[in-house]
Chain A
């Protein structure tokens, strides 16, 4: 049906996202694709969907080589992609969304309704065509996206993380629909998910990607959870492993106590303690609520309820109060949440701690600010033209170091680190992990969120596994393994140890 041969993709900034991927999708199957963050899944889907051009390699669709230069071409050929954040128009009705981009001339409601009935028959799921999409649940939106694909004559539907935020019943609905369409309607699916239990139960074939390469490609029946996890994890960052630290810190005083933190629809009943000099890892998959826990602690989630006690004092529920009491947050999306992109390094690094850099109480001292930025460039080995370089011109790793530098010199008590090494090269990654360890040696605390579990194991003393907004397990880093964490976070066999 779809054949990819030695697809590579090199981005303009030099990143090699795909290093020669071969993939064959058989007709009338559900083909699962799994891989850790950064394995190249999204890039692969974008290439198939025509949103990106491959650097080298060949795509064959129904045996014919194709050259798709725009997303319209694969759509016309019968390939439809449903992205994670489904691009429906929330202000339009279900009917209008299903036939979006399909009004020939006038919006002929009667004719479209007839076609809508046909689509409903195919998916066996009835939905009022006049409801507005904004009124639908996430699962219903998924169904609308599937119907949209079918209405446009899709023979291959690519689903990228379709169930990241679905409730159990809605998942079953989507799965049943996928199976029915495969069996009765000759539709082929490519299905990508972080939840390995889902992939194992739904798919016929599974391809595992790791670091831009296919490391396994087998019928699902021959695969086990363990083999899948092994293939995904690999042992590619041995350098991190060697840094793994083992000293426990259980005697230290509680630094941060989180009690009964709850935020509707995001996290529920999260309680834990971080001790002085301790690094706690939050291991969870995308959408598990791990970042949301950090934002709830930091007070930037206004809906969150619960107690956060830092060094014996209960915190007010605002980011401002958190910063003042000594909590630092390195957010996940550094350009959107961590930096003012147009600003120079020195103006970014002084932002949270401006009051300490004033002369005459109101005027920020440029000399002190520049000095601090220069110190950060030295301390963190930031590669930049000068402190005057705008942060938008820095590479990912260097921009991330600037975000760290914002907090480094204000002497915070605890660091909340959300994916601190995402999009950062290996060398910088090691440096950042060493920096986090330094915080702990200085008696500070740190909470590290990462979807790369080997990284959590390399840096954390204790690991809390997060799944669907809850802490589902607690492990000491030396007593667990990446495989176990991945299994727990993927919802496999996690029932015995609920923290």
Chain B
């Protein structure tokens, strides 16, 4: 009952922090600030140079659409990373699923083609998972092999040539406009957020728990959303169907990871495999299933790709896994498992595409783009490491000086039934 109280604070750990300033610290919310700064910069630059406004309905919908494929893959990559593993094979798997879908489509109805594509992707994921978990080969090696081998299967199937379809069923199923009335949608969402925030504030007071800054933030953000949305947002936001897939995938994964026992156990398995095992958690399942999901997600992206272009060349989606990893890293996902947030990963993916989009709009040489992206990724990682280290040393310090109340929390409830040291 109480657990399903979403705040707008994106951090997984942060949502549960004590005095919830934690959620706004650099090492938790850094990626959100970064996106914010980036967007503001672009808004100002476009305004100053007299170009069309950056935050126009068309441009924002456009950026979201460009983010979709990497975004979906990054959400599931985050799940794999949380479980303490690694998957490089998604680009090839997606391409294979796309190829299989299109080849089937030429001889069968759309739903058969989609199922075939999803099936082949899931199968690749399952093989990856079993090789890693049951046979015990390092995930990096397994999926590096899969990356090559799966691409090879696609080359064999297609004889190295592009596959084209003339049937339009797939395209109309997975692509096309699905606009949103952003004005009323934002008002509705804002009201929900305000309600949830208020509910959380009363609850934390009932439970005599420390005042939750995240909940207060949610109320304010919700109010802002209602006002700004009503005043300024367009009634026609030209989203595509594919963007809605990203939204749905992100929302569901976030809810499952944050608010279900399954999610909790996944974080436990990634955070300390041995402790999770000795707590009676089925490690093999929690290490294998993310691979299966990842194969499935790759197939979904492959099918979206095939549906959009109604064609696939055997080298499609090559190298996308690195962009996906970059998005996860920008989102603060640990490569060692146990921490990460799909929402922040999607924000990370957005940063990459806002950056690219900004370069285009401002007409800055595209040659500079990879350099900037590389610097951004390493810079983000550096900020997480440094800010995280500072935060944990502060934590330790506040524990060492234990008998001095260091937080409101401690003043409220001094030393729970035990002698202070």
Contact = CB atoms under 8 A, between A and B. Distances in A.
A binds B: yes
Interface of A: 298, 300, 319-320, 322-324, 329, 331, 336-344, 347, 351-352, 354-355, 358-360, 362-367, 370, 374, 377-378, 381-386, 388-390, 393-395, 406
A362 B264 contact: no
A217 to B, nearest CB: 35
Contacts of A340: 267-268, 271-272, 275-276, 338
A361 B1 CA distance: 11
Given A322-B280, A377-B416, A336 B13 contact: no
Interface of B is mostly: loop
A377 B415 CA distance: 10
Interface stretch (B223-231, B233-241, B405-413): B405-413
Contact of A351 (B17, B276, B282, B409): B276
B48 interface: no
Interface stretch (B93-101, B254-262, B341-349, B358-366): B254-262
A298 B18 contact: no
B232 interface: no
Interface string B145-163: 0000000000000000000
User: Which 10 A-B pairs rank lowest in CB-CB distance, beginning with the nearest?
Assistant: A323-B280, A388-B18, A352-B279, A381-B418, A340-B271, A393-B399, A366-B3, A367-B2, A340-B272, A362-B260
Given A351-B279, A363-B3, 14 more contacts: A319-B279, A322-B280, A331-B278, A337-B275, A347-B16, A351-B268, A358-B261, A365-B3, A377-B418, A382-B418, A384-B416, A385-B407, A388-B409, A390-B395
Contact of A364 (B210, B260, B417): B260
A359 B417 CA distance: 29
Contacts of B8: none
Nearest to B274: A337
B123 interface: no
B311 interface: no
Interface in B1-38: 1-4, 13, 16-18
Name, among B3, B280, B339, B409, the residue most crowded by chain A CB atoms within 10 Å (CB to CB). B280
B371 interface: no
Given A383-B421, A385-B399, A362 B262 contact: yes
Interface string B276-300: 1111111000000000000000000
Interface in B125-165: none
Nearest to B265: A354
A188 B395 CA distance: 46
A359 B3 contact: yes
Nearest to B420: A383
A406 B275 CA distance: 11
Contact of A300 (B278, B402, B416): B278
Contacts of B395: 390, 393
Interface residues of B, number: 49
21 contacts: A331-B278, A340-B268, A340-B271, A340-B272, A340-B276, A342-B338, A343-B271, A344-B16, A351-B264, A351-B281, A352-B279, A352-B280, A354-B264, A354-B265, A365-B3, A367-B1, A378-B417, A383-B416, A385-B18, A388-B18, A389-B399
A363 B410 CA distance: 29
Interface string B187-227: 00000000000000000000101100000000000000000
Nearest to B260: A362
Name, among B13, B339, B406, B416, the residue most crowded by chain A CB atoms within 10 Å (CB to CB). B416
A298 B407 contact: no
A467 B267 CA distance: 38
A388 B399 CA distance: 12
Contact of A336 (B274, B417, B421): B274
B357 to A, nearest CB: 36
B378 interface: no
B375 interface: no
B243 to A, nearest CB: 28
Given A337-B274, A365-B3, A378 B281 contact: no
Contacts of B418: 377, 381-383
A353 to B, nearest CB: 9
B417 A355 contact: no
B372 interface: no
A389 B19 CA distance: 11
B58 interface: no
Given A340-B275, A351-B279, A377 B417 contact: yes
Contacts of B265: 351, 354
Nearest to B1: A359
A329 B406 CA distance: 35
B385 interface: no
A344 B18 CA distance: 9
B251 interface: no
B396 interface: yes
Contact of A393 (B268, B339, B396): B396
Nearest to B399: A393
Given A298-B278, A319-B278, A378 B416 contact: yes
B280 A324 contact: yes
Contacts of B1: 359-360, 365, 367
Given A366-B2, A386-B18, A374 B276 contact: no
A374 B417 CA distance: 10
Nearest to B418: A381
Contacts of B279: 319, 323, 351-352, 406
A367 B3 CA distance: 8
Contact of B415 (A343, A351, A374, A383): A383
Contacts of B207: 367, 370
A285 to B, nearest CB: 23
B260 A363 contact: yes
Contacts of B407: 385
Contacts of A298: 278
Contacts of A343: 268, 271
Contacts of A388: 16-18, 409
B158 to A, nearest CB: 42
B2 A382 contact: no
Contacts of B417: 377-378, 381
Nearest to B395: A393
A359 B261 CA distance: 10
B416 A342 contact: no
Contacts of B209: 370
Contact of A386 (B4, B261, B409, B420): B409
A352 B280 CA distance: 6
A407 to B, nearest CB: 9
Contacts of A336: 272, 274-275
Nearest to B417: A378
Nearest to A343: B271
Contact of B275 (A339, A362, A365, A393): A339
B84 to A, nearest CB: 12
B259 A363 contact: yes
A339 B272 contact: yes
B200 to A, nearest CB: 11
Contacts of B260: 362-364
Nearest to B16: A344
A354 B259 CA distance: 12
Contacts of B16: 344, 347, 366, 388
A339 B4 CA distance: 25
Contacts of A355: 261
Contacts of A324: 280
B13 A342 contact: yes
Contacts of A393: 395-396, 399
Nearest to B409: A386
Nearest to A298: B278
A378 to B, nearest CB: 5
Contacts of A389: 18, 399
A381 B419 CA distance: 8
Interface in B373-421: 395-396, 398-399, 402, 406-407, 409-410, 413, 415-421
